[in-house]
Amino acid sequence: MQYHGEITKFRDDIGFGVIVAENGRKFRFTKSDVINSSGHLVGLTVDFVVVANRPTDIILLNGTPWTVFGPAGRS
């Protein structure tokens, strides 16, 4: 299932954070789940897919469409 939300917490030292979906559900995630990872994550709006109660394929929705979906954003 696809969700839309905001990253409310992220600890770079351990690589884990929390996303709050529009419906209020909270999900823990790892930085490796972010497709187009950038420096600062807290406060960014994201789209993501939930599989087995875990967010995957997290896409940061900041910047231009090219920075969100372009090849430079993929690692």
- State pLDDT tens for residues 44-64: 999 999 999 999 999 999 866
Sequence spans of domains, the chain: 2-73
pLDDT, mean of residues 9-38: 95
Q: Are strands 16-21 and 45-51 parallel, antiparallel or unpaired?
A: unpaired
Q: What is the DSSP letter of 55?
A: E
Query: What pLDDT, on a 0 to 100 scale, did the predictor assign at position 64?
Result: 64
The Cα–Cα gap between 73 and 6 comes to 19
- State pLDDT tens for residues 2-23: 999 999 999 999 999 999 999 9
Instruction: Read off φ and ψ for residue 70, nearest 5 degrees.
Output: -75, 165
CATH of 2-73, one of 2.40.50.140, 3.40.50.1980, 3.30.930.10, 2.40.30.10: 2.40.50.140
Q: What percent of the chain has pLDDT over 90?
A: 72
- Pick the closest to residue 27 from 18, 38, 36 (CA basis): 18
Query: What pLDDT, on a 0 to 100 scale, did the predictor assign at position 63?
Result: 67
